[in-house]
Amino acid sequence: MAQLKPQKFTLENFREQASWIGNLFGPLNGLINDLVFSYANQLTVSENLYQEIKEISFKNNAGNFPLTFRTKFASNPKGMQLIYIYDNTLSKCATQFPVVEWFYDNGTIKITALTGLTAATNYTIRFLVIYG
């Protein structure tokens, strides 16, 4: 894709409409600038998308479940994807991702099981929570 090269709207280019069009140019130029900025890989999940990334550190013991966290949006998530898992005990990224069992309850996600993890091991995990 070619690089975007926006032009700024100025009163000099619209002299006949200068009496009323000047108030439009500030917001219009701002919008164009924001759009160019977003297409330059500047969109973030936390500020721009109806999604969120949550990170949890825990020890994998049956007594530590359910793992819970408050959601950013007051809406039932459409899905939740495990996107990162780090084995803090062995100081390395895990090579297999577990199966996640979870449900949404009044602004809270409750993870009832993470099948496939080593017992008594400390993990840090990140989830991408997607809303609809």
Beta strands in the chain (DSSP E): 51-59, 67-70, 79-87, 92-93, 99-105, 108-115, 122-130
Residue 122 is predicted with a pLDDT of 96
Looking up tokens 């069992």 gives 101
Write the pLDDT tens digit of every residue in 73-131.
Answer: 999 999 999 999 999 999 999 888 899 999 999 999 999 999 999 999 999 999 999 99
pTM reported for the whole predicted model: 0.71
For residue 51, the Cα-to-chain-centroid distance in whole angstroms is 5
Residue 2 is predicted with a pLDDT of 63
